[in-house]
Structure formats: C-alpha cells, structure tokens
Structure 1
Amino acid sequence: MSAADTDGAFGPSQALDDGTISARTDAYFNRTRDIVTRFGDRVVTYAMFIRRPVISAPRLMIDWLDNVTRARGSAITHEVMFPEGTWVGAGEPLVYITGSFAALSDLETLLLQKLGPPCVAAHNAYQMAMALPNVRFLAMEARHCAGFEMQEQMAYAASVGSAAARREGALGFIGGANDATASFFGAEHGLGTMPHALIGYAGSTLRAAEMFHETYPDADLVVLVDYFGREITDALQVCRAFPELAAAGRLAVRLDTHGGRFLEGLDPASSYAALERNTPGTIRRYRSETELRHLVGTGVSAAAIWRMREALDEAGFPRVRIIVSSGFSGEKCLAMADAHAPIDVVGTGSFIPDRWSETYATADIVSYDGQARVKVGREFLLRQAHGRAVPPS
C-alpha cells in the first residue's frame, strides 16, 4: 500500500467533492464546465506534458483522478505513455486522458498540480543517487514542504527516482523521515534518531547518546556531533563509550556543521591538505566557486568528511559510519563524488526542485469527438500513427 491509498491528502475523504474541486480550480475552467453542460458535451482527449526532461511519476495524479471519477460516476480513461520511473524528453506527452469534457474541464488545475512537481523531483532524486551510487540516501523533505500534500508528492518522487537509479546499480533512497510517507520506501516507520534539540536538552553529545540508547537499546545509534562545535572530540567520546556498537557497525556520526564555520580543527589550509592526503588532484579539478566551497569550504565539505574518517580510523573505529546532511543537492553530490568522499548515508531534502517554474506541467485538448484539433504551436502533442507524439524540434 502506498501513501496515496491511505486516508491522506489524496484519500477519498479530501478534495473529491465537487464543491471543494470547484473552489480549488481556476474560475475559467468552472465556467467552461457550465457552458459545455448548457450547449452539449463532447468526448475530449487531453495531452499532459512538461517542458523539461523528467522521470515519469504520474501515480499520485492518476490515483486522484480515479478517485474523483469514481465518486462522480464518470467514464474516464487514461493512457500513461511512459511507465513510472522511465525517462521522458522535454515536451513529450506523459499521459493522455479521455472522457466527457464536462466531467474533465474543472479538473485540469488540480491534475497539473499533482503531475509536474513529482516528475521533476523524481528526476532530481535519480540524478543525486546516480552521482553517489554507493551511498544510501534518506529523504528529509518534510521540513521543506508547504504542507502534507507537497510532502507526499516529494516523498513519492524520491522513491520513484530512487527505484530508477537502483535499476542501474545505485543504492538510492532507503527511507523517509516520518511514518506518513514510509510506505513509499517499503517501510512502516520513518528513519532518524536525534535532533540538535535533544543534545541541548541533555547538555552534552555523549549524554544525548546515552539517553537515546537507554530508550531504544535495539536501534542503531546515530549521533549528531556538531552541536558544540567539537565534531571530532565528541564523536570519539561517543565511540569510546559504546565500543561494542562501534565494532558492530551499529554506530554512526552525523555531520551537519553550520555553513558559517569549519569542522573542528579545520581551516582553509588544513582543508586543502585533507583532500590532498586522501584524494590527490581533486582540488585541481574544481570548476566553480560553489564546487570549491563544497570541497574545502565551511560546513559539511568533502574535506570535513575526509577528516572525520581519518580521525575515526586512527582511533580504531573503522566501522563507525558517517552520515551527512546540510544542502546536499545534485551539484553537491557531484562534488562529493569527485572527491571520493567517504559517505555512508546522505540525508537530504534538496531533491525538491530549486526553481519551481521547472515543475509547471501543461495540458491541452488534442481531440474533440475523435477529431484531432489543438492550438497552433502544440501540434507536437497530436498522436502519430505509431502511438507516440512527436516532441518539438
């Protein structure tokens, strides 16, 4: 069961009655429905597309459409042109929807809202997973979303992009940050251990780790180590307090160092040196100021990750894992790959599209009662003899 099957944002209890749909759709679509109802209905076919390359992620939209048409008693058919998780070129129709014009005209706004963002986010998640194919990802989109409906779309998208990457050998996304979207990743519960607030409450990183372990003795222990700015000191203190967990690979440190400071013991010169010791030549290949910041700058840089790995190994804790977060976008993942950063897990919400205008999906009617007709400039949406539309040149 997916989150779309539950009684949530896309469940049958919400946004299915005509009054709610009418209130949320564009006024000219409501007026179109009134006019068509008055002057005679027609069977129409909509083509839905996005202007940029994406990964096909139409399931939430299709589930919602099926729920609405079932509640209305409408006879609507849809044809998904690209299976979920497959690559779609710019402008290629993802879905054709056919049915009563009166029954479909007021749904266009809501359908587009549910198609574009997941497809773009799925593409971003796929690119990130492929950039670091040997790293596991945790979807932490919830705090960056404007409510649960957006969160559900983004978690679903991460699962779709991840599945596409896994088919090509990447490890991909292993779960989400809360229970509500865990089912998209084949899990019952969200993943995560402690926020910074718990460390503040405990008064020390070690005490927070002890409290967590006492409360959840069977869970793996993941400890945030940047609260007091003593990432290495506190990480090693926790490792020494839990040597059995460390030796068993059940202990991890999470780096979330603030972008305004370096990891403990690092500065610009020592950051360059950390890269040179572990991945000679990487720093000479940087291509932008942003990439340079990812490699040797403040916050969770490649140099910081390498320095933490060095410190753990030197202290006799080679099986302690490193989990990283803080701004891990596709660009940052590529920089980490170039630096061969020893990352075990990335926690990220940065697969959410950075430019929301990229997510705008569009729909055009391409057939009225079986007669092909579309506005000038959108002829590429018309079905061809081989069943596929021809994208714009």
Structure 2
Amino acid sequence: MESTSSDGGAAGLGIWPPADQVQRWTDTYFVRTRTIVGRFGDRDVTYAVFMRRPVIYAARLAVGWLRAMAEARSFTVTVKELYHEGQWVGAGEPMMLLTGSMAGLVDLETLFLQKLGACGVAAYNAFTMSAELPAVAFLAMDARHCAGTEMAELMAYAASVGSARAQRKVGAKGFIGNATDATAHYFGQPAGLGTMPHGLIGYAGSTLRAAEMFHETFPTTPLTVLVDYFGQEISDALAVCHRFPDLAAQGRLSVRLDTHGGRFIEGLDTQTAYAVLERHCPESIRGYRSETELRYLIGTGVSAAAVWYARECLDQAGFPKTRIVASSGFGPAKCRVMAYARAPIDVIGTGSFLPDNWNETYATADIIAYDGDPQVKVGREFLLRRRIDATDQTGAGQPAS
C-alpha cells in the first residue's frame, strides 16, 4: 500500500478517495450528521463492524484508508482488530472496533464499508476454491469483470488473502499470480501473467500461427495457447505440441481449455463424456449429483470429462508434460466438482471468486458506545456482548499515526 500525504492527496488506489473528496462520495445523512456534531459538541464513539455471513478477514486496504483519513483530518482513531488477516469470521461476529471522534469518523462509514465487505466474500471464495483443489495453481483473471480499477485492486488483494489461508491450512498451491501488472505484487509477482486472448488467434488466422507469433515475440516466456477458437481443441492442441516439441517436453507449453457452454469440446459428446469418467474416476458419476454438478462433470463446455479427454489425447500422442490450463466459470461449486472427478488440471484461470450475490457483501457498522457508555439500537444488543468480550482480550488497538 502506498502512503498518503498529510493533506489527504491520493498516492495510490488504496487511499481513494482522498480526504477532500470524502463528502462528495459518502451518504448525505452522514455529512449532515458531521455538521450537527460539530455544532453541538463532539463525542468519542466506538463502532462495531460486522457482516451477516461468514467471511475471511481481509481488512488491510479498508483499515489503511481509514488511518490515512484520520491523519489527514488530524484526529486519532483506535482500530481494535479482533481477527488476524486470513482468519475465518462467523456471521454476525464483530470483526473490529473503531474508537475515535464522532465528527472525524461519521462520514467515513460509507467509503470504509465499501472497501471491506466484498473483500471478505472474495477471500472466502478464493480460499474455498484453493482448498478444494490443493494441487492446482490458480491465476486471478478477474480484472475484466471488475467495476473499475479500485475494485480490481480490492479483489486481487482478497484473492491473495484467501489463497494464503489455503496455503497455510491445507498446503494448497493457491493463487500464483494474476492478469495485471498493477496488482501482481499481492501474489509476489513483478508483473501480470498471461499469453494470448482469442482476438490474437483471429488476427493470426490459425491457432498454430498465433502460437508461432507469440513465441517469436516472447521466446523466453512459457507458452500457453488457447485451443477453442475454431472448435478444434484436440487437433489444434496437438498441432501446437508437434510444432514445439521441445517446449512440450520441458513442461513450458500449456493448452488452455476455454470452451463455452454451448457445445462440447472436439471429439466429445454426452455418451463419450460418461465413458471418459468411467475410465478415470467412476465414483464421480455413480453417486447422486445435482443437475449443475452433472453439467460440470459430463456436460458442454470445460467439464471434468473434457479435461480428462484432453489429457488422454495429449498423453497418447506423446506429450505427457504439456500442461492443461482450464478456464470458463470456475467458481467454488465448479472447483468442488472438479475435485470429485480428480480432473487433471494444472492451472485454473478464474475471475469467478468475485462475489456472486452482491447483497452478501454488505458490511455494517453500528455505534455501540458514546464517550465509553454502552448504547446501541434495539436489535443489535448482541454487539454489546461482543464489545465486553473484546475488552477482555489482550492487546490495545493500533492508533493512527
């Protein structure tokens, strides 16, 4: 996170908006409340911040912004984080307590919560996906699905937090990188990862020619080739392998399956898909499966059967070290099904860790004490109990500098 100057000028995405823009972007009733408090006298308040669903704690960007605003406004906010980054937080459990000037804090609530809620859900999803498929590496390809660059930073950060938890808990490979330079640092990378979009294949006129163009331009970069553009996933994958046998033998060549859900990959249909899974993972299709699970197992698009079939064809042609990258709709549910089928995926490219039900991302902040005296709206008394529990814990909050 880049720093901010004392006048609140933004020096990086993480501290947008700066102090002088807050009132333009926050709820008007908070702005008016700040004016009233300034007229009738400031008070110290304590906010409890929570969410209504389980999340992974991912608050670094939100807390960093809050501290920058406190510095710019010359007041002190004490942030008592009740969880460490990457910990599981239950539904309704306060994640942190914020204490400071009501005049300083009240109009920051809207923007603070915007930076908090979606991160927790995205981190939860990234953790779930990584933990379901611990032997598979993930690449965050969410940027194109984000509503602007600020959201892109929040989501990249969240994926890195969820991934780190899966790495600690189950030894998962997790997210090894993402698609953009700006947020690659969250994954320990100097730059974004990726090779070619479908548009380059259309430009080149063939999958093989696109691969040749890429390799001629970036000869030291491992080559990942999209193979679904012409609907000839197997033929084009093998053509590229035969053209670059050394890269294939070194494990520096990957084929990316991104077939849309409107058709099967080349050479596959429903009957063949069942037969493929019967050969490799019969238990995946013999138990009860929902309609969605069956689609992920033997349906159109990038199914478990499609991945197994591509692996079979590559191996039979003498290219066992050619890697398979899978993309297209890989969220938590699809990753779970791929785990049932032990699908031989090396890397998953996904933006589907982004929250699906946006109303689940809403974080809430309630004032629970005024000048140290407990008081909260009716129905939120449970937050007072959590405040007492938190007060008994060791460690004071970290005041803003």
TM-score, with length taken from structure 2: 0.94
Q: Deviations over 1:51-84 (max 9, x none)?
A: 1110000001011011111111111111111000
Deviation at 1:285, TM superposition (A): 2.0
Pick closer, same or farther for the CA change 1:388–1:175 going to 2, 3 Å: farther
Name the CA distance, whole Å, in 2 between partners of 1:119 and 1:108: 17
Preserved contact between residue 142 and residue 177 of structure 1 (Cα < 8 Å): yes
Q: Structure 2 matches for 1:211-290, cutoff 5 A? A: 211-290=213-292
| Structure 1 moving runs of 4+ over 4 Å | 2-6
User: Match for 1:10 among 8, 14, 36?
Assistant: 14
Deviation at 1:281, TM superposition (A): 2.3
Q: Deviations over 1:217-254 (max 9, x none)?
A: 11100000000000000000100111110000000000
User: Match for 2:185 among 183, 186, 198?
Assistant: 183
For the residue of structure 1 that corresponds to 2:388, the secondary structure is coil
For the residue of structure 2 that corresponds to 1:179, the secondary structure is coil
Amino acid at match of 2:226: L
- Equivalence for 1:91: 92
Q: Structure 2 matches for 1:108-257, cutoff 5 A? A: 108-168=109-169, 169-257=171-259
Pick closer, same or farther for the CA change 1:271–1:246 going to 2, 3 Å: same
Query: Which structure 2 residue ranges, 5 or more long, are not aligned?
Result: 5-9, 394-401
Amino acid at match of 2:14: F
Deviation at 1:3, TM superposition (A): 7.0
Deviation at 1:4, TM superposition (A): 8.2
Preserved contact between residue 82 and residue 390 of structure 2 (Cα < 8 Å): no
Name the CA distance, whole Å, in 2 between partners of 1:284 and 1:338: 11
Pick closer, same or farther for the CA change 1:107–1:388 going to 2, 3 Å: farther
Preserved contact between residue 253 and residue 320 of structure 1 (Cα < 8 Å): yes
Name the CA distance, whole Å, in 1 between partners of 2:329 and 2:135: 19
For the residue of structure 1 that corresponds to 2:53, the secondary structure is coil
Deviation at 1:379, TM superposition (A): 1.4
Amino acid at match of 2:140: A
Q: Deviations over 1:270-321 (max 9, x none)?
A: 1111111111121122421000000000000000000000000000100000
For the residue of structure 2 that corresponds to 1:180, the secondary structure is coil
Name the CA distance, whole Å, in 1 between partners of 2:31 and 2:323: 55
Alignment partner of 1:306 is 2:308: yes
Preserved contact between residue 286 and residue 292 of structure 1 (Cα < 8 Å): no
Amino acid at match of 1:132: L
Query: Which of 376-385 and 47-56 deviates more?
Result: 376-385
- Count of residue pairs the alignment pairs up: 385
Name the CA distance, whole Å, in 1 between partners of 2:213 and 2:34: 60
For the residue of structure 2 that corresponds to 1:266, the secondary structure is coil
Amino acid at match of 1:364: D
Preserved contact between residue 3 and residue 184 of structure 1 (Cα < 8 Å): no
Name the CA distance, whole Å, in 1 between partners of 2:190 and 2:283: 44
Query: Which structure 1 residue ranges, 5 or more long, are not aligned?
Result: none
Percent same amino acid at aligned positions?
64
Name the CA distance, whole Å, in 2 between partners of 1:17 and 1:47: 23
Pick closer, same or farther for the CA change 1:386–1:256 going to 2, 3 Å: closer
Name the CA distance, whole Å, in 1 between partners of 2:245 and 2:121: 43
TM-score, with length taken from structure 1: 0.96
User: Match for 1:338 among 318, 340, 348?
Assistant: 340
- Equivalence for 1:103: 104
Aligned CA-pair RMSD: 1.4
Name the CA distance, whole Å, in 2 between partners of 1:234 and 1:3: 45
Deviation at 1:386, TM superposition (A): 5.6
